[in-house]
Amino acid sequence: MTWVTQVSWEGIALISGMRKRMGVFVAVIAGLLALGMIIPMLFTGSSPGGAAARLTVAKVNRERVSALDLSREFYRLYYYRTSFGGLKAEDLDALRSQALDSLIEQAIILDAAKSAGFKPNQEQVEEAYKAELAYFKNEQEFIKAMSGWAYTPKTYKQELGKRQLVDKYPLYAKPVEVTEDDVNAEFERAQKTNPKLTLDEARESIEKVVRARKEKEARDSLLSELREKAKINIVDPQVQAYRAMQDEKFDEAVKLYRKAIKQSPEDPYLQVSLGRALAAAGKGDDSKAAFEKAVKLRSGDQFILIAQADSLKEAGDTDAAAEAYKHAAEVAGEDMFAHGLILEAFEEMGLTEDAQAQRDKIDALQKALIERYQAQQKAAEAAESEPEAAEPNDAEDAGASQE
């Protein structure tokens, strides 16, 4: 079996722990705003977003992508990814790269929309804002949640307007029409797998499928055309380093990760990335030192310990790796993902007793989880079956009940 982890990082841990309270996403981070979540270790200075808002990570024609934009998009993607599973520590750079690609794509469309004089519908922006406000007790609570993501009501409405442009401009530039021939062709394909299907009962669904496909094709076509002409300049050293690693330019990756660390010296995951790059570049001692720095920065993080242990195992230092895995197991608590990773490592190393201890731990955690769920279900059923207490209808009844 394959085990994946959720990174124990301020904010990331918060997202993981509060996921079940999530409502429906209305816009970019509506659901996260509804939870009152914040981006950690990010906002400094008096202006919303502080230094992160001023730091440029990419430039697309006339559109600028800030470090704040990248952090927001990263957390949004992280939320979705971990809704379906987990992430290893080394996967974070890939997710950051993906987040920047998404922002660059949006910036390409925004630049084209502005050049065409295409503007957001402010009435629809206000409606979207009010729809998200409905998640909160009052506007003050909503404003407080927005401030955690470095938004003011004004800048969040601007964000909603941008999202509207990104969604609508491709269809303005390349309108889509669903013809009867399109519907019939799709119906014929569907009928091959379901011969009893009739066009009348399937028409609405088929039209939606065809329209969605055509809209995606139109957007992809527009992006392809715009990208050929776009001037894209990525200056984020962490993304540059990750891409250098993908291209097996390990010495270049080391230099770029060191540059990223100068910008975020307290980020232990950058030290993990640097350690991996140094190992790939054949600098084992320096790699070991980078992982030790990561552990020093976040000594109670089981996933950093697992990353360190993985590196030691790959370097052939099995005794030190085993100790690091055991340390990770001690601090992993009830995290089954972490225990699963450690189990796999112990099995690969032939440490049968340690592997069995992890299996026992996972079994116990699963059993406890099921028992908690069953207890919650019983409590909920009991609460539903209890008759509602009678309430006095008037002052006389109230007096009688008090007697």
Q: Is the confidence at residue 14, as pLDDT, over 80?
A: no
Report DSSP state, residue 13.
H
Q: Are both 70 and 210 inside the same structural domain? A: no
Nearest to 356 by CA among 343, 337, 338: 343
Same domain? For 45 and 152 the reply is yes
Closest CA to 40 of 298, 389, 305, 333: 298
Where is the domain boundary, 170, 198, 216?
170
Q: Which of 48, 91, 82, 95 is nearest to 68 (CA)?
A: 48
- Give me the CATH number covering residue 303: 1.25.40.10
Domain termination site, one of 125, 150, 170: 170
**Please, are residues 215 and 176 in contact by the beta-carbon 8 Å criterion?**
yes
Residue 25 domain-assigned (yes or no): yes
Mean pLDDT of 364-375: 91
Same domain, 92 and 50: yes
Question: What does the mean pLDDT of the chain come to?
Answer: 84
Q: Are residues 11 and 140 in the same domain?
A: yes
Q: Name the residue with tokens 């995951």.
A: 269
Q: Please report whether residue 288 resides in a domain.
A: yes
Q: First and final CA of the chain: distance in angstroms?
A: 65
Residue 348 lies in a domain: yes
pLDDT for res 197: 87
User: For the segment 129-183, what is each residue's pLDDT rounded down to a tens digit?
Assistant: 998 898 888 889 888 888 888 889 999 999 999 999 999 999 999 999 999 999 9
Range of the domain at 191: 174-235
CA-based torsion, 120, 126, 131, 136: positive or negative: positive
Q: Is residue 384, in this structure, part of any structural domain at all?
A: no
Q: What's the whole-model pTM score?
A: 0.79
DSSP 148-171: HTT--HHHHHHHHHHHHHHHHHHH
d(CA 355, CA 129) in angstroms, rounded, equals: 52
Question: Do 80 and 209 share a domain, yes or no?
Answer: no
Q: Does residue 20 sit in the same domain as residue 156?
A: yes
Q: Are residues 44 and 155 in the same domain?
A: yes
The angle that helices 92-115 and 268-280 make with each other, rounded to 10 degrees, is: 110
What pLDDT shows up at residue 87? 76
Asked if the structure places residue 397 within a domain, the reply is no
How far is it, in rounded angstroms, from Cα 56 to Cα 53? 8
Clarify whether residues 283 and 351 are in a common domain: yes
CA distances from 382 to 334, 374, 376, 379 (A): 28, 12, 10, 5
**What pLDDT is recorded for position 401?**
41
Residue 26 predicted with pLDDT over 60? no
Quick: pLDDT tens for 100-135: 999 999 999 999 999 999 999 999 999 999 988 988
Does 24 share its domain with 140?
yes
User: Does 37 fall in a domain?
Assistant: yes
17 confidence band (pLDDT: 50, 70, 90): very low
Asked if the structure places residue 219 within a domain, the reply is: yes
Query: What is the Cα–Cα distance from 280 to 249, expressed in whole angstroms?
Result: 9
pLDDT in tens, 28-52: 455 556 555 555 434 333 344 567 8
Cβ neighbourhood burial of 341 (10 Å; 0-12, 13-18, 19+): buried
Q: How far apart are CA 61 and CA 231, in angstroms?
A: 5
Q: Exposed, middle or buried by CB within 10 Å (0-12, 13-18, 19+), for 215?
A: middle
Residues 6+ apart with CB under 8 A from 396: none
Answer yes or no: do 204 and 98 share one domain. Answer: no
Q: How confident is the model at residue 348 (pLDDT cuts 50, 70, 90)?
A: very high
Q: Is residue 394 part of a domain?
A: no
Residues 132 and 178 reside in one and the same domain:
no
Average pLDDT for 69-76: 90
Single residue among 117, 139, 170 that ends a domain in this structure: 170
Residue 341 and residue 308 in one domain: yes
pLDDT in tens, 286-321: 999 999 999 999 988 999 999 999 999 999 999 999
Tell me: the pLDDT tens digits for 191-243? 888 888 899 889 999 999 999 999 999 999 999 999 999 999 999 999 999 99
The confidence score (pLDDT) of residue 34 equals 54
Report the number of distinct structural domains present in the chain. 3
